[in-house]
Structure 1
Amino acid sequence: MSTATARYAGNLRTEATHVASGNTILTDAPVDNHGRGEAFSPTDLVAASLGSCMMTIMGIVAERHALDLTGVRWEVTKHMVAEPRRIGQIDVTFRLPATLTEKEQTILENAARTCPVALSLNPEIRQEVRFLYE
């Protein structure tokens, strides 16, 4: 069974549907590459996927250790390079509770860095990950 189906909507836009749930994602080419920038670009989704995957794996580990990470926030920043046009770096900054012990912090940070997306990205894509405990 397919993971997703997709269609080209014209005007540099696509619509992908998650087969199991029916949820859809729209993409638009970025402004700096002939698009309108009115939705995630495909490379924006890669960056967002990295942060979401890291958080999901931290969430799984947190449940195992009876830690509540509800409300944890993160930001991702994608840096493109020109030749060839591709993602050169993704920065991810997590804002986690200051109440986590040093051991819990280490467990969560290790979990994040070993998420499937992080391990699947081309090694030429630099991943800068910061964990702020606030």
Structure 2
Amino acid sequence: MGSLKNQYLGNLRTEGTHIPSGNKIITDAPVDNMGKGQAFSPTDLMSFSLSACMMTIMGQVADRENIAMEGLTTDITKVMSASPRKVSEIHINFNWPVLDLTNKQKTMLINAAKTCPVALSIHPDIKLEVTFNLN
């Protein structure tokens, strides 16, 4: 048995379950693709997963280096191509307004983000623009 289960609910909507915890997530097709746009679309989750993975791996480095990561946010923009309909670009803008890092710490965190498993799994045809505002 897998650790995830997904069920089609109808009307272009699914409900995914994380089996070990019971947590659930709903997906909905976007308005521009016949959906209601009332939840994350699958391609939204793809883009969000990249950000979450980057933050998680950065958090592992931060824990090891005693860097407090609270307050780190990202703004995520997903760009779709029309034909074929697919994610063509993902833009992630990291913001960390109150931070005092050495250049070595910044480099470690940025390298951690860029080598997270999701980043390494994204097809090279997808353009990634990642900006780190680590003040």
Alpha-carbon distance in structure 2 between the residues aligned to 1:25 and 1:61: 28
Q: Which residue of 2 aligns with 1:66?
A: 66
Structure 2 counterpart of 1:102 = 103
TM superposition score normalised by structure 2: 0.96
Aligned residues: 134
2:112 aligned residue: 111
Matches within 5 A, 1:22-33: 22-33=22-33
Matched with 2:127 is: 126
- CA shift, 1:133, in A, is 2.4
Q: Which residue of 1 aligns with 2:15?
A: 15
Look up the equivalent residue of 2:59 and give its one-letter code. G
Where does structure 2 lack aligned partners over 5 or more consecutive residues?
none
Q: Secondary structure in 1 aligned to 2:101?
A: coil
SS in 2 for 1:39: coil
Gaps of 5+ in 1: none
Partner of 1:6: 6
CA deviation vs aligned residue, 1:37-89 (integer Å, no higher than 9, x gap): 00000000000000000000000001111111012111111000011100000
Identity of aligned residues (%): 53
Secondary structure of the structure 1 residue equivalent to 2:37: coil
Deviation above 3 Å: which 4+ runs of structure 1? none
Cα distance in structure 2, aligned partners of 1:48 and 1:119:
15
Task: Give the deviation of 1:98 after TM superposition.
Answer: 3.5
- State the match for 2:47 in structure 1: 47
Q: 1:60 is matched by which residue type in structure 2?
A: Q
**For each residue in 1:5-61, what CA deviation from the matched residue of structure 2 results, as whole angstroms up to 9, or x when unmatched?**
111000000000001111001000000000010000000000000000000000000
Deviation at 1:102, TM superposition (A): 1.1
Which residue of 2 is the match for residue 89 of structure 1? 89
Q: Distance in 2 between the 1:55 and 1:86 partners?
A: 24
SS in 2 for 1:104: helix
- Looking at structure 2, the residues matched to 20 and 47 of structure 1 have their Cα atoms a distance apart, in angstroms, of 24
Q: Deviations over 1:87-120 (max 9, x none)?
A: 0000011112441111111100000000000001
